Every structure is written in C-alpha cells, then in structure tokens.
Amino acid sequence: MPVLNELAKKFKDADETLILELWEEGIYEERILAAKLIGKIAKKKPEAAISLLAKFSADIDNWALCDTLGMQSLKPIVKSHAQEIFQLSEKYITSKKMWQRRLALVLVEWHCREKEFKPAVKALLKKVEDDNEYYIKKAVVWINASLNKKR
C-alpha cells in the first residue's frame, strides 16, 4: 500500500484515460491505484470522478477495493457533492451485488460526522439491517459506530 500511495502522489495529475486503463487491466493493485487517482481528480472534475466511481462499482470484488473507492475516491467532494453521493448510495443500497450495497454505506461514512445527514444515513442502514452478507453486517456495525461517535 505505501508504494501505491506514492504512485498516487506521483500521478496526481492523471486523467480519466489513465484511470480507466488502470481499472480495465483488472489487476488488484492497478484498480486500487485507479480508485486513489479518482480522488486526485475529484476536486477539479467532480462529475468525472462520480461517473468513474459509478462505472467501477459494478466490478468491485473485494472489501479493500470497495472501501478504497468509497472512502478515498470522492473524499475531496463529500461536502460539495453530498446530494450526488447520496443518490448513488440510494441506487446501490438495493443492488443485487453485495459489494455495491456495501459501497452504498461506505460512501456515506464521511457524512456520519454531520448532524444534518444522520437521518439519511440511518434510512440507508434501515434498508440493509437484515442483510445476511458478512461484509454488509460489518459495514452496518461500522456506520452505526460512526453515527454514535462523539465528535
């Protein structure tokens, strides 16, 4: 991971073409790097960042990739594009794909810190509270803990 973090810093001016090429290689490390690079373009190109995350969400196949996309890719725009992020979460929370359901929760973790967003986060949690998938159960516990954390 330290090497990938260094590469993300080195290629901070990457464009969507490089990010897509990395993702399409299908190799774990390249996909992690692609997810990190989305975060590097998000402030300048928020629509492109959201679009890339949406495109990639269907291909998630492990928790590390899911959580990197959810926690790092849109981090620079969590406040300025909260509405779009919640729209994605609403879309993915009922997905048949388990990793998209987890992504729906991970995307809104940053919003657990803001009182105004807590009702929306709780509404998302309600939709998966009875989900039997291990990684969804873990995400529910994590998001609930974040909601209850004193800040």
Instruction: Give the global pTM.
Output: 0.94
Q: Which of residues 1 and 56 earns the better pLDDT score?
A: 56
Q: Model confidence over 119-139: pLDDT tens digits? A: 999 999 999 999 999 999 999
**Token duo for residue 130:** 């009875």
Residues 6+ apart with CB under 8 A from 30: 22, 23
Query: Which CB contacts under 8 angstroms, 24+ apart, belong to 110-116?
Result: 110/71, 110/75, 110/78, 111/78, 111/82, 111/85, 111/86, 112/143, 112/146, 112/147, 112/149, 113/146, 113/151
CATH assignment, 2-148: 1.25.10.90
Q: Model confidence over 103-114: pLDDT tens digits? A: 999 999 999 999
Query: Residue 61's closest CA among 21, 23, 108, 28?
Result: 28
